[in-house]
Amino acid sequence: MRARRSLIDLGDLSGGELNYVLDRAADFEDTEPAPLLRGVATVNLFFEQSTRTFTSFNFAELRLGAHVVNLAPGDMSLATKGETIEDTVLTLAAMGVRLLVVRHPEAGYVQRVAQAFDGHVVNAGDGAHAHPTQALLDLFTLREEFGALDGRTIAIVGDILHSRVAHSTIAGLHRLGANVVLVGPEFFLPSEYAQPGVTIARELDAVLGEADAIVLLRIQRERFAAMPMSDAEYTARYQLNGARLARLHERAIVMHPGPYNRGMELDDSVLEFAGWRYAKQVRNGVYVRMSILDFLVNGEASPNAR
């Protein structure tokens, strides 16, 4: 099979490919990988700040033996010398670059890069649009916990509208057959998000007893002008805290893509909760990124494939 070129959102993967990438991430967790990207010239182009995603792409690339260069906006001629992104990527291609990992504050920007670049492009987050590798690591973490996800109820809580993580993760959960419950006020969660398999709740208290997993989100204040309600009202209705943790069912877990804001979407008791899976998600992010990079570059026929 011919390798896929790029990953802009989860829709770029067929059902079989999605499962393949998730299964293979488990192999990377269990065994030391062969240098499957040996010498593949790779550039990470991050136009927006990132801690987890940037670092874990770097580790994933290095563990697979890629040659890696990191570029931030201030390093590039397009910032000050009028070079377009299209000309920038042509320049990188001329140096033999085959793989670009791109983050940008504008939705659609990574797609533009993919159209201009004759190689593989991975979306590391574009505006409020999509963050497919975060979705993959969320799905992977949930599968490790529960096995098959069909029939499981996953609640995603908070600022859905401005969250690229939510957009990609909702699509992934839906494809794997989970019941998705979105929780938030109208401003962060317009009614149009409801669809078969995806329901809406306006109060966190209403979903605590039924959720197998709760995915908390940061309020993406950088993406809108004014909070629709006071922080006090938000936390009263949507913060996961000790009292609410006590109402979760016994095997329920709590996840967060990070960065989390203590005192807003969660309080410190969540960080000590036995079902808090944040560190697991972060660790899984490296395996999942190894898996998707290997899949894009080598296809399913890569040397260590099952």
Q: Which residues bind ligand ASP (CB under 6 A)?
A: 125, 131, 164-165, 218, 220, 257-258
The least CB distance from residue 163 to ligand ASP, in Å, is: 7
The least CB distance from residue 54 to ligand ASP, in Å, is: 10
Amino acid at 137: L
The least CB distance from residue 218 to ligand ASP, in Å, is: 4
DSSP state of 221: G
Backbone angles phi and psi of 88, in degrees to 5: -60, -45
- Helix 132-146 × helix 278-298 angle, to 10°: 120
Give the H or E element holding residue 182.
Answer: strand 179-183
**22 and 136 Cβ atoms separated by less than 8 Å:** yes
Question: Of 103 and 143, which CB lies nearer to ligand ASP in the complex structure?
Answer: 103
Question: Of 97 and 173, which CB lies nearer to ligand ASP in the complex structure?
Answer: 173
**Cα 120 to Cα 117: distance, rounded to the nearest angstrom:** 8
Closest residue to ligand ASP, based on beta-carbon distance: 218
Question: Of 125 and 172, which CB lies nearer to ligand ASP in the complex structure?
Answer: 125
The least CB distance from residue 279 to ligand ASP, in Å, is: 15
The least CB distance from residue 197 to ligand ASP, in Å, is: 23
Question: Of 220 and 291, which CB lies nearer to ligand ASP in the complex structure?
Answer: 220
Question: Of 27 and 260, which CB lies nearer to ligand ASP in the complex structure?
Answer: 260
DSSP state of 137: H
Cis check for the bond before 196: say yes or no (omega within 30 of 0).
no
